[in-house]
Amino acid sequence: MAEDEDRGVTLRTGLYEFWTAEGAHVYLHDTDFRRLTYQPGRPPVLELEFLYDSQWTPPELAGTPVVVFRFEDARLLEWCEDREGHDYVSTHPHAPPGQVSCFDWDGSDLFTLDTFTMRLTFRAPRAEVTVRVKQNEKPTLPPD
């Protein structure tokens, strides 16, 4: 992340909006929350994956539109599914189930992620953010 205190992660913007060290503007509202992976262990690890739609990808992230947060020693506190959000998504095909409305950080180790269909609250003392290329979600079959 950017070293500049006005462009890195701050209490004002949390992890919702920041710049990478290379100058790319990461704005999670323009991404789709795609995946949560929790690996119990020593330490427990939580990974959150967000994907930019090609229409909203910043030019600096065109080749790496996937933003991945990896939290070590993660402790899940709350995971709430929004039934009304899920009902709306099921009846409106263009509704954004993974649209991020906020990703707050308390300045210490408490994080809250709100999307169109869920809320996740957790604690983690360490975090790493990376960007990467988009991987095919559906395997392609070889021709006959």
Count of beta carbons in the 10 Å neighbourhood of residue 137: 8
Count of beta carbons in the 10 Å neighbourhood of residue 75: 15
Average pLDDT over residues 131-142: 67
Lowest mean pLDDT among 35-39, 72-76, 85-89, 120-124: 85-89
Q: Please give the sequence-ordered ranges of beta strands (E in DSSP) within 8-140, or none if there are none.
A: 17-19, 25-27, 31-39, 45-52, 66-72, 75-81, 100-105, 110-115, 118-123, 126-132
Question: pTM score > 0.75 for this model?
Answer: yes
- Tokens coding 83: 């039934």
Q: Per-residue confidence at 44, pLDDT binned at 50, 70, 90?
A: very high
SS3 80: strand
**pLDDT(37) > 80:** yes
* % the chain with pLDDT above 70: 84
Q: pLDDT tens digit string along 86-118? A: 787 788 878 777 888 888 888 889 999 999 889
